[in-house]
Amino acid sequence: MPESGHVADPDAVARLEGVTVRYGATTALRDIDLTIERGEILGVVGESGAGKSTMLNLLDAVEHPTSGRVLIGGVDPEPLGERGRRLLRHRIGMIFQSFNLLANRTVRQNIALPLKLQAKKDAALVDSLLAYVGLTERGDAFPARLSGGQRQRVAIARALVTRPELLLCDEPTSALDNRTAADILDLLARTRRDFGTTIVLVTHELPAVAAVCDRAAVLERGVLKDILPVTNRPERTDDASYLDHVRRVLGA
Ligand SMILES: Nc1ncnc2c1ncn2[C@@H]1O[C@H](COP(=O)(O)OP(=O)(O)O)[C@@H](O)[C@H]1O
Ligand SMILES: [Mg+2]
């Protein structure tokens, strides 16, 4: 076990203790021990089917361990019931590969949605997040009129509107081109810096992990094989044009 011998960190944002998740005959996660440290950006890498999304869903208290225990802010969500888990989820934001915006709501309404679900309203906060993600001009647009990168920015603003201490990201750049992906990763790094948000970045894209993560948990068919420090932080290469980018990558 990668973390055996560690003294439990009482300040950890979340923790999995000997967690196994089974779906019938499939073991999605097997006896996972993992601590999410406050303020870190933790990468979770693995091939398709490795159990990455299952792990995020555990950390969001929407998935249940078959055995073992999940702690979110020191709290075990299992005995809480649906209402208690919903309250616990107020501390957590989540973004997805497919953005998951509401098509029939404007950008501003999408960002305000988590507040609305908590019977809250804060137009100034919504506007400040709109500005934070660089979309002040697009507040009244509908998602269909935005690029993929802009949609993910809206999703990030929506996730941040409740000021979560933990931001869970499930393949957030996998539907984006390289340059747009780099912009989104920059925004995640900035989010950690400006708000102190702890971030878990699930991805199969190793360059994304190298760009922003402090550590990487490596999942192979449901087994946590290792947790590696990220020491190879590549310089961001901003080619002047897409053609320059193609030339550099192809060596042409
Ligand atoms: N709700 C579910 N019902 C049955 N099997 C599931 C369910 N969710 C995930 N699995 C299975 O669990 C394994 C891990 O899935 P997942 O966590 O989605 O992997 P990843 O996100 O790394 O691609 C896969 O074999 C997948 O088919
Ligand atoms: Mg997945």
Total number of domains constituting the chain: 1
Q: What pTM did the predictor assign?
A: 0.93
66 within 8 A of 16, measured Cβ to Cβ: no
- pLDDT tens for 211-223 read 999 999 999 999 9
Residue 123 domain-assigned? no
Residue 237 domain-assigned? yes
Verify whether ligand 1 is closer than 6 Å to residue 51 (CB atom).
yes
- Ligand 1 atom closest to Cα of residue 57: 17
- Report pLDDT for 233: 85
Closest ligand by atom to 20 CA: 1
Verify whether ligand 1 is closer than 6 Å to residue 171 (CB atom).
no
The string of DSSP letters for 53-78 reads HHHHHHHTTSS--SEEEEEETTB-SG
Find the mean pLDDT for residues 61-85. Answer: 95
Pick the residue whose CA is nearest to atom 12 on ligand 1. 28
Expressed in angstroms and rounded, the spacing between residue 170 Cα and the centre of ligand 2 is 7
Find the mean pLDDT for residues 54-75. Answer: 97
Expressed in angstroms and rounded, the spacing between residue 49 Cα and the centre of ligand 1 is 6
Residue 239 domain-assigned? yes
Closest ligand by atom to 96 CA: 2
Confidence of residue 9 (pLDDT cuts 50, 70, 90): low
- pLDDT tens for 89-128 read 999 999 999 999 999 999 999 999 999 998 999 999 999 9
Q: Which residues have C-beta within 8 Å of that of residue 50, sequence separation ≥ 6?
A: 219, 220, 221, 222
Read off the CATH number of the domain in which 19 is found: 3.40.50.300
- pLDDT tens for 123-155 read 999 999 999 999 999 999 999 999 999 999 999
- Report pLDDT for 46: 96
Residue 92 domain-assigned? no
- pLDDT tens for 78-88 read 999 999 999 99
Verify whether ligand 1 is closer than 6 Å to residue 74 (CB atom).
no
Residue 187 domain-assigned? no
Instruction: Please give the Cα distance from 238 to 236 (Å, whole number).
Output: 6
Expressed in angstroms and rounded, the spacing between residue 66 Cα and the centre of ligand 1 is 14
Residue 107 domain-assigned? no
Residue 132 domain-assigned? no
Verify whether ligand 1 is closer than 6 Å to residue 52 (CB atom).
yes
- Report pLDDT for 123: 96
Pick the residue whose CA is nearest to atom 20 on ligand 1. 49
Expressed in angstroms and rounded, the spacing between residue 26 Cα and the centre of ligand 1 is 8
187 within 8 A of 167, measured Cβ to Cβ: no
- Report pLDDT for 10: 61
In this model, does residue 8 exceed pLDDT 70?
no
103/236: higher pLDDT = 103
Residue 234 domain-assigned? yes
- Report pLDDT for 232: 85
What is the rounded average pLDDT for all residues in the chain?
93
Q: Which domain holds residue 23?
A: 1-39+46-82+165-170+198-252
Expressed in angstroms and rounded, the spacing between residue 15 Cα and the centre of ligand 1 is 20
